[in-house]
Chain A
Amino acid sequence: FKTAVVKAKINNVLKEELSNMFYNPEEIPYVTKKIAEAIKTRVKECAFDRYKLVVQVVIGEQRGEGVKMAARCFWDADTDNFAQAVYMNESLFCVAAAFGCYYY
């Protein structure tokens, strides 16, 4: 699971989907799902055949509040990995993380 590659992909997706986007509480849920799906398909293209993918997308509004997000995984650190990218503009921030678990 190449973090750099996946991260680049995620970044691309985020840029495509979120550029010129403003935070709208009604449509954000759909956008979130859409992005998650997009990331999943993109990452699948990378041919990590033996990996199970988990994609998590969080979009929040930028209001000046502090945000901390963390993830903890119960996995085999030798094979499993994750990639994460953050996109921010004036009205929102988006954190997308893709976790890859090797399937024996």
Chain B
Amino acid sequence: MKPSKMKTKEDTWKSDELLKHIKAAQGDHADDSSKKSRERKRHKDEESVGTSDSREHRHRGRERDKEREQGKERVRNKDKERDGDRHKEQEHEKVRKKKNDERERDREQKQERERERHNDRDRDKERVQKWDIDQEHSTDPRVRIKDKEWDTYAEKHTKRGHESERHRDKERDRKKERDKLQEKGTEKDENGNQRPKHRQKKDKENLELEMDEKYERKERKHRERKEKEGKSTENNEETKEKKRRPSEFRDEDYDRRYKEHKDHGPHDGHREKREKERREPGQKAGIEEMERKHRVRKDKEDGKKQRHKDIKDSAVEWKDREWEHKDREKRDWERKEEPQRKHKHKVKKERDEKERRGDYTEEQSVKRKKERRSIQETTSESKRKGSTKEQIDSQKKPTETLTEEFVEGEEIAMESQSTIESSNYDNDFEDYEDDFEEGDCEDEEVEQEREEIPARQRAELEAIQKAITAENEQVRETRTRSHRKTFNEEPNRDFENSQTRGPARGTFIDFAAAKQREIISKVASKQKKRSLELLRLIDLDFSVSFSLLDLPPLNEYDVYIKNFGRTNTKQAFVQCNEDNVDRDIQTDEIETVEKWTQHPGEGNLICGGLLKCGANVSDALSSVAKNVDSRRLTNFLRSACQVISVLLEEEQAENQASKNLQSKAASLSVSDGCSQLNTNLAFLHGREVLCLHFSPVQRQILLSIHSLPKEPGVVQLASSYMVCVWNIWEPSAPQKVLVCESEVQCCCFGPDNVISLFAGTTDGSVVAWDLREHSIMHCSLQIGGQEWTFRTPTFSTDGVLTVVNHSCAVKAVYPVSSACFDNPGVGLSLFSSQEGRSGLSFQLATLDESGLLNLWVVVELQKADFAGSLTDLGLIPGGKIKLIHSSSIEVNSFLPRNLVQLGSPKTLSIRFLPSDPNHFFIGTDIGLVSHGTRHGLQAAPKLYKPQINGARPVQVTCIDFCHFGKTLFLVGCSDGTIRLHSVITERPIIQWNDSTQGRPIRAVAWALTRPGMFFVLDSASHIYVWDLLQNVSTPAAEESLQPDRITAIALLGDPEKPGASSGLMLAMQTGAIEIQYLMKHWSEPHLNELETLHYILQKTA
């Protein structure tokens, strides 16, 4: 449908173009008129060459036209066919054009075009003829039958050439016009308004003139059609009529054209005049321009003509061709073969031309070629028959008019539509007239393009013919349809266009095509009807829309995963809080380090951790525990710690205080130096030292008992008695500080070591401290910038064990080594034995004033109970030492009855026989020392009495065994007497009565390194040094320390290491503790001193 549509358009324009020309002729439009005038000028020039010929030709043409009218129908049919052929050709060629690489094809096309041109010419000629017939049959009654066909041919040629020329001109003009258009935009608009009026006028005239003829023809045609298509319906008949109508219009147009032509006459001047006349009423403005153009055209054509004159040589050929043409005309109905011949002829001719003019190349512009050819033809023909140019020229206008008349039928629709199409087609043209020109031009261009292809070949001619035939048929089809549509009054644009084409193309009437068209239209109408009926039944809707695809965009995570997945990796995630699978709750993994601690601290490991592999903390701990002998380690640490601290102290002392200490040496004659323990501590300040006691095992460890302070220095401790454990080599501070609520009367270390300490109090309780306990178990105080741990008793019998406990003040505490039971006869002294006895399994003897001797078993618990024991109420939580009551001995039962009758004597002190702990000696307040055993038979002597008989109210204040020989002991009494006893005799060996001038003896102490020497302290702070080897009767030296009173003494030294330093510990009332280092001759034992002593004693006794 499309190609036909296109064609329709073009056709429409063609007709409209003609219309425009008519207007131009009327002088409405300067441009149009100028165009026309140009063309006319050209014609004039040509005619000037052969005026007579042209005139002749015209005459002939007129005559022939008359004849023609009689066979008009035939001609019309022919024309129709031809018309169709042309259309088909065009179509085919268009298609072919695209492929035209080969020269042969080019040639072919040229031939075709030539053929076409012939057809055109024919048509034109026919038109002219008709016109002639219509208009001039009265004036030109001559019938030229023989010349008729020839004339037709010639006319065709001329017309064709003229037409092509005209087209070319138009093209040119249009170009100019385009330029002008922009300039004269307003002018044109005005013209556009005027144009329709003119057209209408003309149409009216035409109608009046040709009414009669039209009617006749219509009827005739109708009849003929009916004969052919017996089956055709009334509708079809109508259609036929309508179809016919255009052709009738055409005829009428021709008539008119011819008339005009006649009026103008063949003379150039006349025509020019007419042109001018036309122009004048319209627009005088364009006249000058037109004339200029005419001139230009003239010049051009003159040049061309000269060129053509050369072709006269080929006059013979031309004649042949003419003859052929005549033949062809005779075989009017066998048209199809004719083109071939014609073409052959033309091909020949053109080849010749080409040969002649080598300068004309194929590439030369199409326009020029065409011009050339057309001019050639024109000239040649004009030579032969006289120029038909005049006729053609004049024909132009009538043709246009005719077209317009035809168009008038559907005037309004046409105009509007053409405008629309024109606007689609070429936007440059605002006027539809211009558009028509454009359409025309395009037709021409197509032709030109075809011409451009130079190569020609016969071989393809047949194919072309076929194509032509096909085209013809198609045209017929479209025509039929268009006609039908028009008469059904269905304003279909396409159909209208096609309808207009027919008339535009002129005189082509084909009954076969019409028949076909009719059939087709019938079918179409049926279909239409059906579709209409169906449409009533069918509901078309587009309410539902279908979703074909809905692909949601990927979110960021998906994109990430997509990209991630391509990298051949895997993704995993870990979440520490497994039951909280929510993104918001996810947290970083918390770094953990395992550490442990323990409260209260037990052992040396209280806290730990920070092991590199945290998972194996417990394992590592256990392994450490397994590998390390913790006891050994702790022992080592303890001793090492002490050693180190001692070393540090010594160094310090050496550095700063050695002179001070040495300076004090002068205080005692027996000493060559002294040092002081630092008791100037806040919590010790103002406390009197009640007792000093060296550890029997570790001789440098000293404990001191401090009374309540006279003025409270540290408030918290003001009500507590204190026991300090010192290392005399570390004098700056006590190693441990023990506190006790009640007054401590006596205290002692454990027998084998210094890890435990026992004390008796005035309220009858026995308390024990475990020095191994960690300091965190006890309360610590920050005193004087230093932290002190005040240890409370681990175990106390206070308030518990009330049945067996002491009811009065405990006067003495004394450890009983169990080892002594195992080896009763071994060794000189229990205390001197350094054999390591493990554990704390030993007995403790405590003696109170009432003479009750309690024996306790010291038990060390394997496991501490930090929660506190429910059964052992005296045990502090976490404590490991407790006392279990073993046995009780009523000491007074050993005393004679006569002594007891006076009242139970107070027992003041107790000593165990170092060689046999089973025996104990108890000092009483009646001046007697009772001798008892813990178990077994009563030992003799029961009592040790002074030399003077009887019991006296004299307190035995102290008893001390000699460290050598084991059987001698000294007894100090409150009346100032000192007795030296042997354990085997009741009476003393030696008794000194007035050595102290009657002052009570506070303490007696055998020297640790020399058997024949002892120290005596009286209550007046006098120290007497006795050297029995030197002098038995009087002390070897007497010292008194002023102003301070000495409250207690203790002897430093190791009996087994006589070379070691020995000294005298002096405790002052002010709380100071001094060490007086004994001079060498006092400390070093003499040779056979013990034997000498025995001898002296025997001699004395």
Closest to B559 in A: A64
The answer to whether A76 and B539 touch (CB under 8 A), given A64-B554, A104-B534, is yes
**Contact B562 A64, beta carbon cutoff 8 Å:** yes
Closest to B547 in A: A70
Contacts of A65 in B (CB 8 A): 553
**Contact B549 A76, beta carbon cutoff 8 Å:** no
DSSP majority for the B interface?
mixed
Q: How large is the interface on B (under 10, 10 to 19, 20 to 34, 35 or more residues)?
A: 20 to 34
Contacts of A78 in B (CB 8 A): 538-539
Which of B544, B548, B554 contacts A84 (CB under 8 A)? B548
Answer whether residue A93 sits at the interface, using C-beta atoms and an 8 A cutoff.
yes
CA distance A104 to B532 in the complex (A): 11
Contacts of B549 in A (CB 8 A): 58, 67-69, 86, 93, 95
Q: Mark A51-70, 1 if CB is under 8 A from B, else 0.
A: 00000001000001111111
Contacts of A84 in B (CB 8 A): 546, 548
Contacts of B559 in A (CB 8 A): 64
Contacts of A86 in B (CB 8 A): 548-549
CA distance A104 to B550 in the complex (A): 33
Contacts of B550 in A (CB 8 A): 67-69
CA distance A72 to B547 in the complex (A): 9
From residue 285 to 317 of chain B, which have CB atoms closer than 8 A to chain A? none
Contacts of B542 in A (CB 8 A): 72-75
The answer to whether A75 and B540 touch (CB under 8 A), given A64-B559, A70-B546, is yes
CA distance A72 to B540 in the complex (A): 12
Contacts of A69 in B (CB 8 A): 547-550
The answer to whether A95 and B548 touch (CB under 8 A), given A104-B534, A104-B538, is yes
**Contact A67 B545, beta carbon cutoff 8 Å:** no
Answer whether residue A77 sits at the interface, using C-beta atoms and an 8 A cutoff.
yes
CA distance A68 to B552 in the complex (A): 8
Closest to B539 in A: A76
Which of B534, B546, B551, B562 contacts A93 (CB under 8 A)? B551
Answer whether residue A1 sits at the interface, using C-beta atoms and an 8 A cutoff.
no
Q: Mark B548-575, 1 if CB is under 8 A from A, else 0.
A: 1111111000110010000000000000
CA distance A93 to B548 in the complex (A): 12
**Contact A68 B545, beta carbon cutoff 8 Å:** no
Answer whether residue B541 sits at the interface, using C-beta atoms and an 8 A cutoff.
yes
Contacts of B548 in A (CB 8 A): 69-71, 84, 86, 95, 97
Closest to B554 in A: A64
CA distance A88 to B554 in the complex (A): 14
Contacts of A97 in B (CB 8 A): 546, 548
Q: Mark A68-104, 1 if CB is under 8 A from B, else 0.
A: 1111111111100010101010000101010000001
B1081 smallest CB distance to A (angstroms): 110
**Contact A77 B539, beta carbon cutoff 8 Å:** yes
The answer to whether A74 and B546 touch (CB under 8 A), given A66-B552, A67-B551, is no
Contacts of A66 in B (CB 8 A): 551-553
CA distance A88 to B552 in the complex (A): 13
Residues of A within 8 A of B (CB): 58, 64-78, 82, 84, 86, 88, 93, 95, 97, 104
Q: A64-B558, A70-B547 are in contact. List 18 more A-B contacts (CB 8 A).
A: A58-B549, A64-B553, A64-B559, A65-B553, A68-B549, A69-B547, A69-B548, A70-B545, A71-B546, A71-B548, A74-B541, A74-B542, A75-B541, A76-B538, A76-B539, A78-B539, A88-B551, A97-B546
A-B residue pairs in contact (CB < 8 Å), sample of 8? A65-B553, A66-B551, A68-B547, A69-B548, A71-B548, A72-B545, A84-B548, A88-B551
Residues of B within 8 A of A (CB): 530-531, 534, 538-542, 544-554, 558-559, 562
Closest 3 pairs between A and B when the two form their complex, measured CB to CB? A66-B553, A64-B554, A74-B542
